Amino acid sequence: MLFLTLLVAVVGDPAQTMSGPSRPSLKIRFAVTDFAVSDTSNVAWNKADRVKIDRYWSGEKASDGRRVRARLLWSKTALYALFEANRGEPLVVSDKPDLTKKAMGLWDRDVVEIFVAPEKKEPRKYFEFEVAPTGEWLDVALDLTSGTRVSDWKYSSGMESFAEIQKDRIVAAVKIPWSAFGRTPKPGDAWVGNIFRCVGTDPDRGYLAWQPTFTEKPNFHVPEKFGDFRFL
């Protein structure tokens, strides 16, 4: 699981609306032009809704130093995600990061993650994308339809990642081409997914979730708890 992972409800958050009695919705606005994943100050981000991630998977409030905000955009060619994570404790990162290939075991360090299921009627087939404060990344295709989680580690999404460690926060971003999902959304479409952050060390390691999964132990792989990703 990332210092943030991209595999997204906070009552009163203007970035979210309810699409049903229990499913929150995140609006993904359209970017007219593409831009580099490292361009985190691009003007297009100004119109993206901010989503607060301030609760653990259990629903309990997380301390301010562990909270994160996420913004999503989409263009004709890709899905973009930008994370701004508070930095309130020592980072758990690799001292020899290798950005040339996916970083297996990244979920055991600080990371942000986003899970995306392009077929709303079958959320048990989804994709997980992670990025660490070092810029290390990971992508995997997952299938829970059999009742057992099947992970395709040979999956190659073509994702791009960027991260920057600042004094009191971490900024990270991913850019994922639509070929990674096998389809391109249209305005008005709704996919499903969730957004997470993993931070700290045991026994106080934190597992934050945009949409808490409420499992007995930390577990992000609960598709029935995913929220809506609505493309505007």
Residue of 193, 189, 198, 130 whose CA lies nearest to 159: 130
Flag the least confident range among 12-21, 24-33, 108-117: 12-21
Residue 8: predicted pLDDT: 36
Check whether 54 has a pLDDT greater than 90. yes
Residue 117: predicted pLDDT: 98
In this prediction the pTM is 0.90
Check whether 143 has a pLDDT greater than 60. yes
Residue of 62, 72, 70 whose CA lies nearest to 208: 62
Could you report the per-residue pLDDT of 162-215, keeping only the tens digit for each?
Answer: 999 999 999 999 999 999 999 999 999 999 999 999 999 999 999 999 999 999
Domains by residue range for the chain, with CATH: 4-231 (2.60.40.1190)
Average pLDDT over residues 70-99: 97
Distance CA 127, CA 131 (A): 14
Residue 191: predicted pLDDT: 98
Residue 22: predicted pLDDT: 56
Residue 185: predicted pLDDT: 98
Residue of 193, 197, 196, 195 whose CA lies nearest to 231: 193
**Percentage of the residues of the chain whose pLDDT score is greater than 70:** 91
Could you report the per-residue pLDDT of 124-138, keeping only the tens digit for each?
Answer: 999 999 999 999 999
- What is residue 45's three-state secondary structure? helix
Q: What is the torsional sign of CA 113, 150, 9, 72?
A: positive
Residue 23: predicted pLDDT: 80
Average pLDDT over residues 201-230: 97
Could you report the per-residue pLDDT of 3-28, keeping only the tens digit for each?
Answer: 445 443 333 333 333 334 558 999 99
Residue 16: predicted pLDDT: 38
